[in-house]
């Protein structure tokens, strides 16, 4: 088994997809699966699946396939599903409230545990089970609560300023829901998620018949 930092990025990106499907199979009482079936379900070709799995030393038996429970257990450990990662939400507007309400409830290992906003009517309250702190306390609270992953759902005008503060607070990963491309120090990782953009792109492709 390779050390995690030698695993190709593309493989790492597919791990949660495999994990989620295996959990679904396990819940449905299925005990084994062939790489062909798995390939069909997750839409990744079976040669790629076999190569991905080989990085982790998880090798199926020819003509038998993979043991669902074994794989699930294995991926669960690899993805650190046993440890809860607390995440902060910065900006409790419409999308922010939506994400608080959703709170990644399909996942075992991620939870928004603190939120931050500037609006007096929401600060100091508990929204969908999560406390909303004032923005002035953000750096302090993130340090006290040892949170190093943040979800950014502030208005785009303040996105960069908020990001600078997150970096100052020691945050290492930001899931960015604003349309702004953020500038960050080298040690901070950004994952951009632009829902409006995704939908507009889909519609643009449809309108123009691009396949």
Residues annotated within the binding site for NAD(+) are: 91-96
Burial class (CB in 10 A: 0-12, 13-18, 19+), 195: exposed
SS3 50: helix
Tell the burial category of 150 from Cβ atoms under 10 Å away from its Cβ (0-12, 13-18, 19+).
buried
Residue 121 binds its own copies (CB under 8 A): no
Is 209 strand, coil or helix?
A: coil
Binding segment toward its own copies, per CB under 8 A, in 51-59, 64-72, 114-122, 169-177: 169-177
1 interacts with its own copies by CB under 8 A? no
Are residues 141 and 133 in contact, defined by beta-carbon separation less than 8 angstroms? yes
Q: Identify which range of 53-61, 65-73, 87-95, 135-143 contacts its own copies by CB under 8 A.
A: 87-95
Candidate list 149, 152, 154, 162; residue touching its own copies; CB under 8 A:
149
Q: Does 145 bind its own copies (CB under 8 A)?
A: no
CB 93 within 8 A of CB 153: yes
Cβ at position 117, least distance to its own copies in Å = 16
Q: CA 146, CA 88: separation in Å to the nearest integer? A: 10
Nearest to 44 by CA among 74, 91, 10: 10
Only one of the segments 47-55, 58-66, 92-100, 138-146 lies at the binding site for its own copies (rule: CB under 8 A); that segment is 92-100
Rounded distance between C-alpha atoms, residue 21 and residue 202, angstroms: 25
Selected binder of its own copies within 57, 62, 94, 120 (CB under 8 A): 94
Residue 104 is a binding residue for its own copies (CB under 8 A): yes
Site for its own copies, rule CB under 8 A = 4-5, 7, 9, 12-13, 15-17, 20-21, 24, 41-43, 79-80, 85, 87, 94-95, 97-99, 101-102, 104-107, 109-110, 148-149, 151, 156, 172-173, 175, 179-181, 189, 191, 193-211
């Amino acid at each position: 088994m390779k050390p995690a930092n030698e695993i190709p990025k593309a493989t790492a990106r597919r791990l949660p997809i495999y994990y989620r499907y295996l959990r679904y199979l396990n819940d449905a009482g299925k005990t084994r699966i062939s790489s062909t079936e798995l390939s069909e379900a997750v839409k990744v070709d079976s040669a790629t699946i076999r190569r991905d799995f080989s990085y982790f030393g998880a090798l199926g038996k020819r003509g038998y396939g993979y043991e669902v429970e074994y794989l699930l257990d294995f991926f669960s450990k690899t993805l650190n599903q046993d440890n809860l990662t607390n995440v902060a939400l910065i900006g409790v507007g419409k999308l922010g409230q939506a994400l608080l309400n959703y709170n990644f409830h399909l996942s075992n290992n991620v939870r928004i545990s603190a939120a931050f906003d500037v609006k007096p009517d929401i600060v100091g309250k508990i929204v969908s089970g999560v406390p909303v702190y004032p923005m002035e306390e953000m750096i302090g609270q993130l340090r006290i609560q040892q949170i190093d992953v943040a979800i950014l759902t502030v208005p785009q005008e303040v996105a960069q300023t908020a990001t600078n503060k997150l970096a100052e607070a020691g945050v290492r990963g930001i899931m960015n829901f604003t349309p702004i491309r953020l500038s960050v120090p080298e040690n901070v990782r950004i994952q951009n998620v632009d829902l409006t953009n995704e939908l507009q792109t889909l519609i643009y492709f449809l309108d123009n018949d691009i396949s």
